[in-house]
Structure 1
Amino acid sequence: MHMNSAPHLLAEDRPEYERILDDALRHAHERPDLAAVGERLNAVQLRTMALDATALITATAATEYRHYVKAREELRVPTEEAGEDSGSGVGASRQSGAGIGAVITVLTPVLAGTAAFIFLLAGYLLKLLAPPPSFASTMVTAGWFFAAVMAAAILAAAIGLLVTALRNGSAQPVEDTEAELPEDVARAREAWRHALLERGILPFLREALADPGAGPAARAPERSANRIPKVGYTPPDFSSPDQGPAAGPRPTFTSPDFTSPDFGGPEHEPD
């Protein structure tokens, strides 16, 4: 059974752990202690082994990670409160405005197309009459007008989708921009990254290259048996009942002197 998820590592930080691991493997040739990558084990094998031992590796930087998570949560609390306060004001008006715009964008081509079909159909049918009514040409003109509105609405919707796609594609994720984070959160994050790399990932890779046959639990840093503190004590000396203190002299007693019925009281004297 693989340990693919560290119990203390949040899901949002799992990609960051994998990025640090991939970066270490990508630059392994620059480290003399990892020069054996590709000889005994290749980068793919090492990556798989490190992912299997995620819980053990990340535990080496647990203190720095707790500090980073705490700093990040303190940053998010004021932001969430500000979002809740503005949700009933500006945020609600923006959402309502966006909703109305989306409805108009969707309904305009449908309604214009329906009107164009009705007016054009009715106008050309009326022109087949002899003589055609005077308003037949007006209905045909109205039909072509609504057809042009439908085409313009479809073109505007397509341009809007294209602009939105380009904007989202060029936008850089917030979590990848260090400048967006406050100084204390960025410093805590960097400390966790450094500790995870130096105390967790690199020692794991070195031990994996030195002993490819060992399992993840035996190879994980700071998990050796000699690091477990031993508590010294002497167990109590329990002795069996046969080896207890010397028993004293047993109490002695004599049985009562019972006589037979023939030698009872005076009423039983022999004749």
Structure 2
Amino acid sequence: MHMNSAPHLLTEDRAEYERILDDALRNAHDRPDLAAVGQRLNSAQLRTMALNATALITSAASAEYENYVKVREEQRAPTADASVRNSVLAPAVGQAGGDDGAGFAAVIAVLAPVLAGTAAAIFLLVGYILKLLNPTPSFAETLLTAGWFFGAVTAAGILIAAVGLLLTALRNGATQVPAEEAGGEPDEVARAKEAWRHAVLERGLLPFLRAALADPSADPSSTTPPRHVSRIPKIGYSGPDYSSPSDGSTAGQRPTFTSPDFTSPDFGGPEHQPE
């Protein structure tokens, strides 16, 4: 028994196969061999037939697809390794610098300007209100001095927080994995993908569509591909060839059995001994 197996598309590549199919059907009228689209079978019916025969069609480009998947996985491996290294090194760097100390410093950097600014606003407001009184209370100047002091603390806290944020951004930018270029895919992966797309179109989809248009018995709702597909390898099983024996041959005759020939022993007395 013989079996021809077709490569199964990964889930992430099924959408790309549908895009190739849609492009072929959209540009079908630009090809003389597909000019019959819409006469007996329309684009929707041909699309259904091609989706039902995805494994059959993509098997024509199995070599290109295997190369595309291999190149893509090789390109993804360094990025995954870099991500793992960064995730492992980040906690180590944080522990080396002291997580508790860094967290406490961050809290102080955030709260100090807020608290100092609030205190400065209260002291200055109360101090200037007291200076409007006549006679002016003696502690009005003290409140104003304290207000300006807390104002200076607020300005210093904001400056320190800004410097801290800038240093953090620079440190994270140095350890960040570079993003892919605007093309979205490396050149090698893009070339392998384009080779697979071209092979699927030229050796798989177009012969399938031509066969479907030429086969008057093609059923759009059937999962069976058209009968006249000649350039696409068929997928399935071929049963063993059983042949009946020819007339006159001994292979077809039933075996015959003969019963054993039993003879009774010749018994006699002592006087009848055999000569």
Change beyond 3 A, Cα 1:121–1:38: farther
Q: Map 1:166-181 to 2 at 5 A.
A: 172-175=182-185, 180-181=186-187
Q: Does structure 2 retain, via aligned residues, the 8 Å contact 1:53–1:217?
A: yes
- Structure 2 partner of 1:244: 255
1:34 partner amino acid: L
- Structure 2 partner of 1:57: 57
Q: CA shift at 1:7, angstroms?
A: 6.2
User: 1:85, 1:119 → 2: CA distance?
Assistant: 48
Q: CA shift at 1:197, angstroms?
A: 0.6
Runs of at least 5 residues in structure 1 that lack an aligned partner in the other structure: 1-5, 97-103, 161-170, 255-271
Change beyond 3 A, Cα 1:187–1:20: same
Query: Higher relative CO (CA 8 A, sep ≥ 6), structure 1 or 2?
Result: 2
- Structure 2 partner of 1:200: 204
Q: Does structure 1 retain, via aligned residues, the 8 Å contact 2:60–2:233?
A: no
User: 1:115, 1:208 → 2: CA distance?
Assistant: 80
2:184 partner amino acid: V
* Higher helix proportion: 1
Cα offsets for 1:33-81 (capped at 9, x unmatched)? 333444555545544553444333222211221233334445555x459
User: 1:110, 1:37 → 2: CA distance?
Assistant: 72
SS of residue matched to 1:50:
helix
Q: CA shift at 1:196, angstroms?
A: 0.7
Change beyond 3 A, Cα 1:68–1:114: same
Q: CA shift at 1:207, angstroms?
A: 4.0
Q: Does structure 1 retain, via aligned residues, the 8 Å contact 2:120–2:147?
A: yes
1:63 partner amino acid: A
Within the candidate set 218, 223, 227, 1:216 is matched to 223
User: 1:48, 1:122 → 2: CA distance?
Assistant: 78
Q: CA shift at 1:111, angstroms?
A: 6.1
Cα offsets for 1:90-144 (capped at 9, x unmatched)? x97xx98xxxxxxx99997776455434432454345555636324445655559
Aligned length: 214
Aligned Cα root-mean-square deviation (Å): 5.2
User: 1:191, 1:215 → 2: CA distance?
Assistant: 30
Change beyond 3 A, Cα 1:119–1:214: same
Change beyond 3 A, Cα 1:20–1:140: farther
TM-score (norm 1): 0.52
Worse-superposed segment, 41-50 or 27-36: 41-50
Aligned-residue identity in percent: 44
Q: Does structure 2 retain, via aligned residues, the 8 Å contact 1:21–1:201?
A: yes
1:191 partner amino acid: A
Worse-superposed segment, 9-18 or 131-140: 131-140
TM-score (norm 2): 0.52
User: 2:114, 2:224 → 1: CA distance?
Assistant: 68
The answer on 1:191 being equivalent to 2:191 is: no
SS of residue matched to 1:246:
coil
Q: Does structure 1 retain, via aligned residues, the 8 Å contact 2:25–2:43?
A: yes
User: 2:53, 2:204 → 1: CA distance?
Assistant: 10
1:119 partner amino acid: A
Change beyond 3 A, Cα 1:22–1:116: farther
- Structure 2 partner of 1:116: 117
User: 2:127, 2:145 → 1: CA distance?
Assistant: 11
User: 1:194, 1:213 → 2: CA distance?
Assistant: 25
Q: Does structure 1 retain, via aligned residues, the 8 Å contact 2:48–2:220?
A: no
Change beyond 3 A, Cα 1:82–1:218: closer
